[in-house]
Structure 1
């Protein structure tokens, strides 16, 4: 399992044009600790499992899936696909921001309606 996750980490990191140091910084670990995870020499990826999934925008199933490297390699070879993935990522972030704003506005409206009914 460590080898599969390690290969996936390396592939995902490269698909994001990210250095090991940058990935390690995102996880608040040393570069050498991250390198050990990529080589499959460490199980510490399990401690950072959720954060890794968020960082690389993959599901938990994808992170532990054998053969993810094939898909990511194809993505690396297809710059159009990378642009599409980047755009989708940006759109998801914007949508999340709007969802939070909508939720806040609904809460405000709810409180305003309560105040008016008093």
Structure 2
């Protein structure tokens, strides 16, 4: 089946913080039916394209584009708008990695300062 659409459905759902059950309820189908759409086991998403687009506030062309990116405007918790959900996700991961590196740097600086203090007290 169409894995491109299936992957986009899964990515959109996760970007918006929905469970499969919540999306299925919105579409008035069972979770297992929706799960098969996300797994690419069925093309029944075509019957629900209008509801899917309305749920995610996108145009059908955004869902059907053959690229790897779903065009969508998403607001983060600080109100910034990202034109691309994938960029939003990657940005969050990069910020998380960067913040962890900064914590490691601060811990190393503190450790080195303590060593210098100990060496000067000898």
What TM-score, normalized to structure 1? 0.61
Q: How far 1:35 moved relative to its partner?
A: 0.6
Where do residues 1-118 of structure 1 align in structure 2 (5 Å cutoff)? 2-65=2-65, 66-68=67-69, 71-78=84-91
After superposing on structure 2, the runs of 4+ consecutive aligned residues of structure 1 that deviate more than 4 Å are none
Q: How far 1:55 moved relative to its partner?
A: 0.6
What TM-score, normalized to structure 2? 0.59
**Distance in 2 between the 1:53 and 1:60 partners?**
6
Relative to its length, the structure with more helix (as a share) is 1
Give the superposed CA RMSD: 1.9
8 Å Cα contact 2:2/2:43 also seen in 1: yes
Q: How far 1:68 moved relative to its partner?
A: 2.0
Q: How far 1:61 moved relative to its partner?
A: 0.7
Work out which structure has the larger RCO, using CA pairs closer than 8 Å and 6 or more positions apart in sequence. Answer: 1
8 Å Cα contact 1:2/1:40 also seen in 2: yes
Structure 1 regions of 5+ residues with no counterpart? 80-118
Q: How far 1:2 moved relative to its partner?
A: 1.9
8 Å Cα contact 2:63/2:70 also seen in 1: no
8 Å Cα contact 1:2/1:37 also seen in 2: no
Relative to its length, the structure with more strand (as a share) is 2
* Aligned positions, number: 79
